[in-house]
Amino acid sequence: MNVTRIENAPAYFPPEHNDMRCLRLQGHEAGPVETLWMGMSHILPGGHTSLDVSPLEKLYFVLEGEVAVFNGSEEVVLRQWDSCRVAPGEGRRLRNKTNRPATILLSMPMPGVGKAAAT
What would the 3-class secondary structure string for the chain be? CCCCCHHHCCEECCCCEEEEEEEEEECHHHCCCCCEEEEEEEEEEEEEECCEECCCCEEEEEEECCEEEECCCCEEEECCCCEEEECCCCEEEEECCCCCCEEEEEEEECCCCCHHHHC
**Residue with the larger pLDDT of the pair 111 and 102:** 102
**pLDDT per residue as tens digits for the range 45-87:** 999 999 999 999 999 999 999 999 999 999 999 999 999 999 9
What is the mean pLDDT of the segment spanning 15-36?
A: 96
Give backbone dihedrals phi and psi of 109, rounded to 5 degrees, phi first. -70, 150
In this prediction, residue 111 has a pLDDT band, given cuts at 50, 70 and 90, of confident
Domain positions in the chain are 9-112
Q: With 0.75 as the threshold, say if the pTM is over it.
A: yes
Fold type of domain 9-112: Jelly Rolls (2.60.120)
Q: Are 4 and 26 in contact (CB under 8 A)?
A: yes
Dist CA 111 CA 114 (whole Å): 9
